[in-house]
């Protein structure tokens, strides 16, 4: 039994006998790492597949670690018109500080601007200027000034340093995956979508990368997923082409009253809300767990964060690469113990996304039989703690040498997009997403099959 899957089966309301009967999990690992990344990846994907099977029916979930590894490495294998897509911007990555290392994240223009501003660099500064500026500053100072300016940079820590800190203790206070019944304003009767003659409706308020992976998984399993973005925060096209496969995409400006009202009208007819913004960021719009429980108690509220909502880092922005650097993973992946390195994939993001999807599917199953208001939570740092503390062993691992069988090319408005197939298959079902490459923000703010 895959150790990650074994750990989360009780949360999914399933047992090892169910998994043994309904899961076809091939052997092998294809994500070489100092940590059991292959175990984490395959187990999280299997959890999502089994949770979907338990909700919608079927005989068997098929998980091939080669397909999983290719899916987790989407940013490395994706191509548009035969050209590789660059996953990280020039100002994102590891930089030497005066007393150690920092990792920055500046893929989005507004994060790049904040990084440069915090470092007192001109807006048109490039990587050489950033290298020089960071080399003169202590790593902790860089983390502090960039974070204070709402940018994203972190001092690279050892595992011992991270685990001795207050934020690590806050992370440990949370479950790897939480699926919980919440108090509501009044009783909520069971809601079984199968009897309503429509698909499960999922409102997707997430960005990079775990949240979109979760909702893409729900779309692959047949849900009507409507992703909602602000017109003021455009998405990176490569990410949209990958993680929004099978979804529809609309733009809603939450600063505008009638747009906020429209979003709550959609929620009144929805089954699930998935949020991936910083803890507290959506509370003013009544889109946090408490606000949704009060206004729309039938809606399953699923949320994820980088650091958990607690501790001194609870309100910080964070991405997979930043969590790796802070928690000690980057130094564990180092070839020489000095120069930090990354895992072979953004596995914290992807695994947390599949776990969140598994939790949503489990909550829907519970809502159908028990009624009530349900909340699902997962966090990148908590996934990192599982990985760091697991005694699982991947065994010898080599990258997938030829990704052709595990990818598919699709002609889209953006060109011919080559990307990974879905990470798992149910019975003899689809091995491709329903679509890729629909234009970002091009759909109306409405459900596909309106009541």
Helix/strand/coil (H/E/C) assignment for every residue in 263-309: HHHHHHCCCEEEECCCCCCCHHHCCCHHHHHHHCCCCEEEEEECCCC
Rounded to 5°, the CA angle 413-414-416 comes to 95
Rounded distance between C-alpha atoms, residue 318 and residue 349, angstroms: 11
Mean pLDDT of 410-427: 96
Report the share of the chain in percent with pLDDT over 70: 100
Q: How far is the CA of 248 from the CAs of 148, 203, 243, 359, in angstroms?
A: 35, 10, 11, 22
Please give the backbone phi and psi of residue 448, each rounded to the nearest 5 degrees, phi first: -60, -45
Mark residue 311 as left, alpha or beta (left: phi above 0; alpha: psi -120 to 50; beta: remaining).
Answer: left
pLDDT of 44 strictly over 70: yes
pLDDT number for residue 183:
86
Q: Which tens digit of pLDDT belongs to each residue from 189-228?
A: 998 888 888 999 999 999 989 999 999 999 999 999 999 9
d(C-alpha 208, C-alpha 274), whole Å = 13
What is the reported pLDDT for 388? 98
The mean pLDDT of the chain is 95
Q: Is 77 left (phi over 0), alpha (psi -120 to 50) or beta?
A: alpha
Q: Which residue has the higher pLDDT, 130 or 414?
A: 130
Q: Is the pLDDT of residue 113 over 90?
A: yes
Task: Give me the helix-helix angle, 65-72 and 347-370, nearest 10°.
Answer: 110
Give the residue, 419 or 236, on which the prediction is more confident: 419
Mean pLDDT confidence for 122-143: 97
pLDDT at 234: 84
pLDDT band, residue 369 (cuts 50/70/90): very high
- Residue 324, both tokens: 């790796």
Angle between helix axes 380-389 and 320-327 (nearest 10 degrees) is 40
185: pLDDT strictly greater than 80: no
Rounded distance between C-alpha atoms, residue 351 and residue 130, angstroms: 32
Q: At 451, is the pLDDT very low, low, confident or very high (cuts 50, 70, 90)?
A: low
* 231-290 per-position pLDDT tens digit: 998 888 989 999 999 999 999 999 999 999 999 999 999 999 999 998 888 999 999 999
Our CA angle for 32, 88, 228, nearest 5°, is 105
pLDDT tens per residue, range 16-31:
999 999 999 999 999 9
Determine phi and psi for 281, rounding to 5 degrees. -65, -25
| pTM for the full predicted model | 0.97
CA 276 – CA 258 distance, rounded (Å): 23
User: If pLDDT is split at 50, 70 and 90, which confidence band does 437 have?
Assistant: confident
Q: Distance between CA atoms of 451 and 119, rounded to whole angstroms?
A: 53
In contact, 300 and 218? CB cutoff 8 Å:
no
Using only C-alpha atoms, the chain has a radius of gyration, in whole angstroms, of 21
Which pLDDT value is given to residue 194?
82
Q: Which residue has the higher pLDDT, 413 or 44?
A: 44
């Amino acid at each position: 039994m895959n150790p990650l899957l074994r750990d989360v089966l009780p949360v999914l309301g399933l047992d090892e006998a169910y998994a043994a009967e309904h899961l076809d999990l091939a052997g092998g690992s294809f994500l070489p790492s100092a940590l059991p990344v292959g175990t984490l990846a395959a187990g999280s994907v299997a959890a999502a597949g089994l949770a979907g099977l338990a909700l919608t029916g079927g005989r068997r979930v098929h998980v091939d670690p080669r397909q999983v590894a290719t899916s987790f490495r989407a940013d490395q294998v994706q191509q548009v018109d035969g050209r590789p897509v660059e996953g990280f911007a020039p100002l994102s990555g590891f930089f030497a500080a005066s007393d150690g290392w920092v990792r920055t994240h500046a893929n989005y223009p507004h994060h790049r601007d904040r990084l440069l501003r915090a470092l007192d660099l001109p807006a048109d500064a490039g990587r050489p200027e950033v290298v020089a500026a960071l080399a003169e500053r202590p790593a902790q100072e860089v983390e502090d000034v960039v974070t204070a300016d709402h940018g994203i940079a972190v001092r690279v820590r050892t595992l011992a340093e991270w685990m001795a800190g207050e934020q690590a203790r806050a992370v440990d206070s949370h479950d790897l995956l939480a699926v919980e019944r919440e108090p509501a304003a009044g009783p909520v009767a069971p809601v079984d979508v199968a009897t309503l003659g429509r698909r499960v409706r999922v409102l997707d308020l997430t960005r990079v990368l775990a949240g979109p992976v979760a909702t893409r998984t729900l779309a692959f399993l047949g849900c009507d997923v409507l992703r909602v973005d602000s017109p003021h925060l455009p998405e990176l096209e490569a990410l949209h082409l990958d993680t929004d496969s099978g979804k529809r995409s609309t733009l809603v400006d939450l600063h505008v009253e009638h747009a906020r009202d429209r979003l709550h009208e959609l929620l009144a007819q929805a089954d699930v809300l998935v949020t991936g913004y910083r803890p507290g960021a959506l509370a003013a719009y009544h889109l946090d767990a408490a606000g949704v429980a009060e206004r729309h108690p039938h809606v399953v509220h699923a949320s994820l964060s980088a650091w958990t909502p607690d501790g001194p880092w609870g309100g910080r922005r964070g991405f997979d690469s930043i969590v790796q650097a802070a928690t000690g993973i980057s130094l564990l992946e180092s070839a020489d113990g000095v120069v930090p390195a990354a895992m072979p994939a953004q596995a914290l993001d992807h695994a947390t996304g599949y776990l969140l999807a598994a939790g949503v599917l489990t909550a829907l199953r519970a809502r159908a039989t028990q009624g009530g208001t349900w909340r699902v939570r997962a966090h990148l740092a908590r996934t990192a703690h599982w990985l760091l503390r697991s005694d699982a062993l991947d065994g010898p691992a080599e990258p997938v040498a030829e990704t052709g069988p595990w990818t598919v090319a699709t002609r889209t408005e953006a060109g011919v997009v080559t990307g990974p197939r879905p990470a798992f298959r149910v019975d003899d079902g689809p091995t491709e997403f329903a679509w890729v490459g629909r234009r970002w923000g091009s759909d109306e703010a409405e459900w596909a099959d309106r009541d």
